[in-house]
Each structure stands twice: as C-alpha cells, then as structure tokens.
Structure 1
Amino acid sequence: MRDAAPRSVLSVGAILGEGPIWVEREAALWFVDIKGHAIHRFDPALDVSKSWTTPGQVGWIVPTDDGLFAVGLQSGVHRFDPRSGAFTLLHAPEAHRPGNRLNDATVAPGGALWFGSMDDAEAEESGRFYRLHRGDLVESGLAAVSITNGPALSPDGRILYHTDTLGRAIWQCPVDADGVAGAATLFTRIEDGAGYPDGPTVDAEGCLWTGLFGGWAVRRYDPAGRLMREIRFPVANITKIAFGGPDLMTAYATTARKGLDVTALTEQPLAGDLFAFDAGVAGLPGHVATI
C-alpha cells in the first residue's frame, strides 16, 4: 500500500479504539477498544479479524516473550492467552485507586514494559507511569497527571516521551541503563483548537508521531519538537498509530466514537474504525515484554 490518504481498513465502530501494536511474529495488528471491553486482531494480508471480550476496560496489549500477551485492564496487568481467552492477574499496582484504570503502554528494547494509569473520570491528577521488568514493578517518579498517554521511547531507548493529554503537552526525559527516568522537559505543546495529544509513537528516524483527539489529524515532530507533517483524517478522534507491514511503512491508526453526539456520528460514519496510510518512513521493530 502506498496511499498517503488515510483509509478505513477495518470497521469495528470502536467506542475508544487505542493501543495499536504490530506483532511481527504474527504479521498482524492488535489493538483494543477501551470502553467497548474488547481486544481486536487484524491480519492485513488475509483481510480477516478476530475479537475477544475483556473482563473490564482494557487500555493496551503487548506481546510477551512466552508467546502470549500482557494486557492492561482496569484491575491491573494481566497475562492473556488468545487460544483460551483466559486472563490471569499478574500485578495490581493501583488497587488502592479504584477510580483509576490503565491506559497506554510501550516495550523498551530490553523487554521492560512501560505503562500509565489515569483517572477514569478524567478529572483528578491521579495518573502515574510504571515500569515492569522480570517481575519488578516500580513507579517511574514522573509527575502525576489526569490522563497519561504513551510512553514512547527513542530508537536507542534512552529518551522517554510521555503525554499529559489534558495539559496538551508532550514531555521527554532521559532514561539510564537501569531504566531510571530523569528530569522531564517539555518536548512540545499542542496549541488550542488543534485537539488533544493522545498516544505517541516514534519512527525509525527518531521522530515522534501523535494522534490528536478532537483534532482530525496525526502529527509528526522531529527530535527537537518541531512540527514536520500533519495528516488529516475524515474522523475527529485519532488516538494512536503503529507502524506495520513487511517494511514497517504502513501506519495503522485507531480512532474513537467517544464524545460524539448523534449529529457528529452521522457526519463521521467511519468514526471508531481502524485506518491505514503510507507513512513515508519506516517504524521501529517491535519488542516483546519480559514481565
């Protein structure tokens, strides 16, 4: 596919599509519908999909080194076996915050899983970022926000990008060899009227892409935080992209129906679909989590 205009490739009508990830061992794209309590798998070569119902809100899914998956449910990090559909609780980092849920994640080159939490009511600054590796779960020490998104990592894994969605800000911080995050500095801020920065993704050139919820677009920023490119969509709520395909140059984008009234849904019949477009640049190879 070499089509720069985003097109719908899978109609799922997701309430809050999120967390797309290309799983190389299957040549398939996985993503979630947070509010729809669903995990989706899309095989673009065969143009077929499969879905699983989750026992609660699901923020993300990543492959693990045992051939299975880890998922972030509202109740905590679970192991997921798609063959049986079974979920097994591994960690409940915020059992003391029942109003929070897990939201977005990435895997570092060494297999560490980074993920965030958020206030499900999108009001309190109770969201935190965590790092899980080989059974060791630690809070990152990054500033608490209401809605976390990301994090995402630079190609060498030494810069961590994390998003304060309601604050319209994307931050960056160094990460040392032991996975400890340093002091955060502002990477870029989204101007009023352009939507809210949602899930970030980094490409092979070290540039950051972000979905814009309510902004009808995704954007690409260079490593210095300068806007390079904006790609417009026929739907308002773009949540996150992932690079896939045999050359990792196809960008898949999740979208959402959340917050759209009847009139908006009539005007945006493709809202909630999975989209694809030619990114013009390769993404980074995916990693499997060692949790």
Structure 2
Amino acid sequence: MHLTALPCAPVPGRLPEGPVWHAGRGDLLWVDITAGLVHRARLVDRDDDSGLPDLGPGTTVAFDRPVGAVAPCASGGLIAAAGTSFLRVDEAGVATEFARPAVPDDGTPRRMNDAKCDPAGRLLAGTMAYDATAGAGALYRLDPDGTVTTVLGSVTISNGLGWSPDGRLLYYADSPTRRVDVFDHDPATGALSARRPFADTGSAGLPDGLAIDTEGRVWVAVWGAGQVRAYTPDGALHAVVTVPASQVSSCAFAGPDLDLLVITTAAEGLTAEQLAAESHAGRIFICRPGATGLPVPPFADDPEHFPGGSTTSHDPRGSA
C-alpha cells in the first residue's frame, strides 16, 4: 500500500521531532530539538477537498537547551527530556528539574533525543553525543518516583520507541544500525530482555521515530528516504507513506479517533541547494493511513510529591 502525506500550516522548523497526541487537551505536541522549542496546536479544517485536517495556530515554549521529547503528565503539565535532564513543565511553561541521569563525565557533550512513556507510565529516554560519537549514548528509564535506571548502554543515536498493543514488546532503533530491534518487555517491572532484529531499512535511510497501531504494525520514519514504512508484527513491509522531504524524523497517531498519522521532518543539515529542492523540509505532514493508533500513556507522576526530584525552578525561556 502506498500513501502520500500533505504538509500542514506551521512554518518549517530546524529539527522537528517527537509528535504526541495529548488526548486530555485534544491537541498535538511536538518539539524542535536543537532550537529548544515545544509546540502545541489543534487540528482544524483544511481549505481543500483532501478530507484531511490541518494544524491551526498554536503556542510555543522556548527552552535554554535542546529538547529531545515531551510527554503529558497524569497530573497536568509535561515531562521533558531536555539537555541531559528530566524537567517537569507546568501549564505556564515554567520548568522544574525533576531528575538527572548519571551521564558520563568524559568530555563528550550529549543531549537527550527520543523519549516515550511505556504502558505503565514510566518514561524511556535516550541520549546521543552532539557529534554522534559511536556508543556515547544510552537509554534510560525514569520512574514516577524520580528514580533513573540505565537500561541500555553503548548507543549511538537512541530513537524509535514504541510498545506492542499488549505491552510485552518494545520496538527500538539505534539509528546508525539501520535496523529496528525488538525486546521482550515486562509490563510489571519495565525490564527488557531478548533483543533481536525486527526490520532493516537497509540502504534507503536510517530508522528514526516510530509509532504502533492497534494491529501491532510498526510505522517507522526513515530519515533520508522521504518515507514512513509500516511493518507487520512479523517484520513484513505493509505500507509506504511518501513524504516530500527527505529527512523524515518521526510519526505519531493523532486525532480524537487516533486515525491520522502525523509526520515530522527536519531541515537541519541540508545545504542551500537541498533546501531549494525540498521546499517543505522541516514541515509537519499528515495522512489517513487506514490504521488506528494506540492511546498515549501519560507519565504517571504524583501531583503532590516528587521523591528524588529537585525543587529548583527556572524560566525555560532564558538564554543558555
């Protein structure tokens, strides 16, 4: 099956990523990683006969550091994987440091990249070196009490988190491997085991962010290919969504019925000639893929108390 996605109204960003549907508010969140921005917008009617909605005017919060991903919190507000910390962001956009992983002190600058909550509301978030030094990243688990556990080391570019409908499998991509792997996932403890290959993007490009539908299919953004590829639970290619921008960074199911696929793309790193040829690079795209996504679990925080977290607040809009 071949599908085509349409561009949405928001202006292009540098490195848009991490789209997530906030069901409680009925809007879409996404980040612009290196610009340190978190965007929020609602779906609106589109002025054509495509049958697809657009994204309307929204709001933006600017941080003083890169923001790899955000997720809604059960208590309201957001949890952000930003810089090399986890920040709790309230409804006014004020951030409080909640927890910080033990990032190696070896002189290699790192930042958070992709992050998502598992079905129990624990946040998994990965890091990478700014220069993509091989093996310099890791995958961490942030529990609601503020405990941070390293669950995977020697990662280069941590990406592509998503769980099977029964919560017993985790799909994950270390992008330079050009492969999506699958782990057995213990829903009770969050433990991972039995890592094995799931799907290989080969010469087409690098696997980036991904999303899972109710049939257990895995929709993978393929950086460099201008595509989202959907794979069946046994790893067979099911569908290809064509995107008129090569650097496809992530995707997520959105809308009240979770029947829309929202796709982020990036302009960062493209030459002037490439940008002239890819006028939509950095935009968000949307299509109706004939599949329904899984609800997004919020971070299962306690609104009254954050054991293990700092109580120091700061305005995220300050300069670095």
Return the TM-score normalized by structure 1.
0.94
What residue is the counterpart of 2:101 in the other structure?
93
What residue is the counterpart of 1:66 in the other structure?
75
* Superposition map of 1:110-259 within 5 A: 110-135=120-145, 136-140=147-151, 142-176=152-186, 177-192=188-203, 194-259=204-269
Change (3 A) 1:127 1:226: same
Give the superposed CA RMSD. 1.6
* Matches of 1:74 and 1:289, distance apart in 2: 19
* Matches of 2:75 and 2:68, distance apart in 1: 21
Matched-pair contact (CA < 8 Å) for 1:78–1:88: yes
* Per-residue Cα deviation, 1:26-46 (whole angstroms, up to 9, x for no partner): 110000001111111111137
- Larger-Rg structure: 2
Aligned-partner SS, 1:128: strand
> Which amino acid in structure 2 is aligned with residue 184 of structure 1?
R
Q: Percent identity?
A: 31
Structure 1 runs of 4+ with >6 Å offset: none
Matched-pair contact (CA < 8 Å) for 2:179–2:202: no
What residue is the counterpart of 2:8 in the other structure?
9
* Per-residue Cα deviation, 1:57-90 (whole angstroms, up to 9, x for no partner): 000000011111000111311001242x211111
Matched-pair contact (CA < 8 Å) for 1:112–1:131: yes
How much does 1:18 deviate?
0.4
Matched-pair contact (CA < 8 Å) for 2:221–2:229: yes
Unaligned runs of 5+ in 1: none
How much does 1:236 deviate?
0.5
User: In structure 2, which of residues 48, 66, 70 is the aligned counterpart of residue 57 of structure 1?
Assistant: 66
How much does 1:48 deviate?
2.1
> Which amino acid in structure 1 is aligned with residue 111 of structure 2?
R
What residue is the counterpart of 2:39 in the other structure?
40
Aligned-partner SS, 2:177: coil
Matched-pair contact (CA < 8 Å) for 1:5–1:278: no
> Which amino acid in structure 2 is aligned with residue 251 of structure 1?
L
* Matches of 1:116 and 1:36, distance apart in 2: 18
> Which amino acid in structure 1 is aligned with residue 20 of structure 2?
I
Matched-pair contact (CA < 8 Å) for 1:211–1:239: yes
How much does 1:154 deviate?
0.8
How much does 1:234 deviate?
0.8
* Matches of 1:108 and 1:72, distance apart in 2: 15
Return the TM-score normalized by structure 2.
0.86
* Matches of 1:287 and 1:118, distance apart in 2: 24
How much does 1:247 deviate?
1.2
How much does 1:134 deviate?
2.1
> Which amino acid in structure 1 is aligned with residue 200 of structure 2?
R
* Per-residue Cα deviation, 1:158-191 (whole angstroms, up to 9, x for no partner): 1011101011111111012211111201111111
